[in-house]
Amino acid sequence: MSDDLKKGLEGVLVAESELSSIDGDAGRLIYRGYTIEDLARGASYEEVLYLLWNGHLPTEAELEPFTEALMDEREVDDDVLETMEKLAAADERPMAALRTAVSMFSAYEPEADADPEDLDATLRKGRRITAKIPTALAAFERYRLGEEPVDPHPDLGLAANFLYMLTGEEPDDIAAETFDQALILHADHGLNASTFTSMVIGSTMADIYSAVTGGISALSGPLHGGANQDVMEVLIEIDESDLDHREWVEQATAEGRRIPGFGHRVYNVKDPRAKILQERSKELAENGEDKWYNYTTTIEQFLTEEKGLVEKGIAPNVDFYSGSVYYQLGIPIDMYTPIFAMSRAGGWIAHVLEYQDDNRLIRPRARYTGPQDQEFVPLEER
């Protein structure tokens, strides 16, 4: 057994997976063999969920009942809505509210007593979680605005329905397609911190509600989720300054300030998901306000070409463009990470199912570095 210390499990293989693969040098991401470009431009989020959970893209005959099953599970219990209202009134953070909601879902699970090794039942539970997260999240935001929740729309897909429940208005085709693509892009991404957390919990044969709640908790940390919120806050700061956006970035970098949305633990080139969202940002700009697209493209060009970040292996990641895309869709900034969780829940569920199919309790070691041979002194003599 090796005693080499791998801080942060850097480069350590802990599992085999057929779900997703990342080539950080080529800027390539695949889900079950399909490139992210093909899936984002040709499939729906529901199709990608089916692919991750079932191993193949659905036929029309398979997709229809799958989508209907998701739609049938969208409603959440009144107790969950009441809790969302109380958390909104208490000014709770959206990620914490989402964590609470998913944990509460289990109280109303019709298959709560299913055998933990019944993976078909686990998948059905995961489907319910995935269907209900948008409803609970949209309700929380409505309560924060002092408005009543909007019931799920019976004819809209998951992405369009979330935007509908958030605003009370059906999104146009561009908005719906853009958000659907964003969900696809965030559905899975190897063994990142939140996915690994979910998998560790799943390895104990805890229920899928526990695993997804754990994933949400891990994603809430600023070193994992939240970078797209940071990007948008910087863009707003630039917009409100007296400087041209290029001048602002030049001054900020000269002062040693880091611009969020650049660099990735895995990618050494531009994140392929960022390229797709950049296209969507441009399309949104052509049909609305263009300054956010202009800001991001100019900043990318300045930092990568003139500052030479590409040569250093630092390029835009998915968060650099997702922040402005969500903002153009009218989504509140502090909802960006919960939306990430809404999408990634599908990937967490897939990884738990895959791991539990050939389960072994995850139990790493730690090297002890504390004192040895301490002499015990009774309490009355200390």
Catalytically active residues are 264, 319
Q: In the Cβ-directed half-sphere of 275, how many Cα atoms lie within 13 Å?
A: 13
Residue 139 has, within 13 A of its CA and on its CB side, a CA count of 25
* Residues 127, 130, 131: CA angle, nearest 5 degrees: 85
| DSSP letters for 129-154 | HHHHHHHHHHHHHHHHTT-PPPPPPT
Closest among 181, 180, 163 to 171, alpha carbons compared:
163
Contact in structure between 271 and 264 (CB atoms under 8 Å): yes
Burial 346-360 (b: 16+ CB within 10 A, else e): bbbbbbbbbbbeeee
Residues 70, 159: Cα–Cα separation, whole Å:
12
Q: Report the C-alpha gap between 57 and 256 in whole angstroms.
A: 47
Contact predicate 322/182, CB 8 Å: yes
- Please tell me whether residue 262 adopts helix, strand or coil conformation: strand
Residue partners of 337: CB distance under 8 A and separation at least 6:
94, 95, 219, 220, 225, 226, 228, 229
SS3 track for 276-310: HHHHHHHHHHHCCCCHHHHHHHHHHHHHHHHCCCH
CA distance readout (Å), 75 to 130, 138, 176, 301, 317: 11, 12, 21, 45, 34
Q: Which tokens go with 299?
A: 């900043």
- Amino acid identity for residue 152 in this structure: P
| Rg (alpha carbons) of the chain, rounded to whole number | 22
